[in-house]
Amino acid sequence: MIRKRLTYCIGVFLFLLLASCGSNDRGAGTDAATYIPDAPDYADATMWYIRQNSTVDKGADIFYLVSTWETDWTTEDGRVCHYADVHNATHRANMDKEISRIAGYMGEAGDFYSPYYRHITIEGWATLNEDTISNRFRTAFSDVQAAFDTFLRQRPDPDRPFVLAGFSQGGKTVVELLKTMPADVARRLVAAYVLGYKVTPADTLATENIRPAQGATDTGVTICYNSVSDVRYIQPVVAAPCAMCINPVNWRTDATPATLHDTITVSVSPQHHVLVVKGYSGSEYQPILGFLNVGDFHSAEPWLYEECLRENIRARVEAYYDKEGR
């Protein structure tokens, strides 16, 4: 009897110990040598980059997700962190470098909102390991879900149409938002722009919210592309397998080439669902840890086609209002 009671007590103690360890997810990861920053509170205005645009009559709200800006870093007590810290002013300022430039052209279509989130560091992507990326991405996406919910609740006009957009890791968050988006919210979606990231065949089967764009003005669709100098430089971690690709210069999904800036030729590879770009070196972008900007043009995705995207977002917003008879 004493032995049974002792065994029971030890079992209860171990259960409580494990439960208490599992419930402590603020400030530390499950590995004692790693650190996870505190989650953002999106009721706090400092957790957002917002640019109001009162000049647009029939506009849309833009919800933009930033790419990857941080490398692994170490806390004062020696723990490694695989995430951006939104409470760190330097990390927010790094994200602002991209966000402010994106807001400069996407924000012409309406009010622009971009949350700071605990995006995973570049070393996670450099593992090229989908399991590692997915495990770490859960933290990043929990922030994005909270931010999107806040955006939907607190924007001045909750019935206004909106545009989703994201680059690289931000593109992945756009795909995941589409997969979890309720139908009543999706009805107000003008379009989703997944820049420099893949939409896999499995993604398209997971939700009716992901429909590939077929032209320049269809609405409720997903725009997706990745640019390479040759298909042999496709980097699977961001670009394959991919189920769709549209040319942002001529808005075609076939191999019809388009000319950009007089000297650059852009065409879709229908077999590989990527853009093949000729006449552009991408030399202004340095290779990233030996796996990006190496025959591909990953860092150029939001900037090379900036004017095309600027015009297209406005065109799709206009088409949305025409379709709704508003």
18 pLDDT higher than 60? no
pLDDT of residue 217: 98
The verdict on residue 243 lying in a domain is no
Q: For residue 43, give the CATH number of its domain.
A: 3.40.50
Q: Is residue 18 a part of any domain in this protein?
A: no
- pLDDT at 5 (0 to 100): 39
pLDDT of 3 strictly over 90? no
Separation CA 120–CA 73 (nearest Å)? 11
What was the pLDDT predicted at 326? 77
25-34 pLDDT per residue, tens: 334 344 448 9
Residue 220 lies in a domain: yes
Average pLDDT in the 4-29 region? 35
Percentage of the chain beyond pLDDT 90 is: 88
Q: Is the distance from CB of 221 to CB of 213 less than 8 angstroms?
A: yes
Give the chain's largest Cα–Cα span.
88
For the chain, percent of residues with pLDDT exceeding 70? 90
Peptide bond into 302 cis (omega under 30): no
- Greater confidence (10 vs 90) lies with 90
pTM for the model: 0.90
User: What is the pLDDT at residue 17?
Assistant: 33
Cβ atoms within 10 A of the Cβ of 100, count? 14
User: Does residue 13 lie in a domain region?
Assistant: no
> What mean pLDDT comes out for the span 72-99?
97
One-letter amino acid of 305:
Y
pLDDT, mean of residues 157-180:
97
pLDDT above 60: residue 157: yes
Let me know if residue 277 belongs to a domain. no
Token pair 């298909």 is found at 231
> 169-180 vs 130-154: helix axis angle to the nearest 10?
60
Q: Please state the rounded mean pLDDT for residues 242-263.
A: 98
Supply the angle between the helices 306-324 and 89-106 in degrees, to the nearest 10.
70
How many structural domains is the chain composed of?
Answer: 1
Does residue 9 have a pLDDT over 70? Answer: no
How many angstroms separate the Cα of 33 from the Cα of each of 27, 79, 126?
Answer: 12, 5, 20
pLDDT for residue 26:
37
Domain-embedded: residue 208: yes
Task: Report the pLDDT averaged over residues 30-50.
Answer: 90
Half-sphere exposure of 119 (CA within 13 A, CB side): 26
Q: CA–CA separation, 258 vs 265, rounded Å?
A: 6
| Helix residue spans in the chain (DSSP H) | 2-23, 89-106, 122-126, 130-154, 169-180, 183-186, 201-206, 236-239, 301-304, 306-324
Residue span of the structural domain in which 106 resides: 26-226+299-324
Residue 2 has a pLDDT of 35
Is residue 202 included in any domain, yes or no?
Answer: yes
Q: In the prediction, which pLDDT does 15 show?
A: 32
Residue 6 confidence (pLDDT) above 60: no
* Section 264-292 average pLDDT: 98
Sheet holding 112-115, edge to edge: 48-51, 112-115, 61-65, 162-167, 189-195, 221-225
DSSP 1-19: -HHHHHHHHHHHHHHHHHH
Q: How far apart are CA 36 and CA 79, in angstroms?
A: 9
Instruction: Inform me whether the pLDDT recorded for 54 exceeds 90.
Output: no
pLDDT (tens digit per residue) in 198-244: 999 999 999 999 999 999 999 999 999 999 999 999 999 999 999 99
- 214 in any annotated domain: yes
Per-chain mean pLDDT for the chain:
91
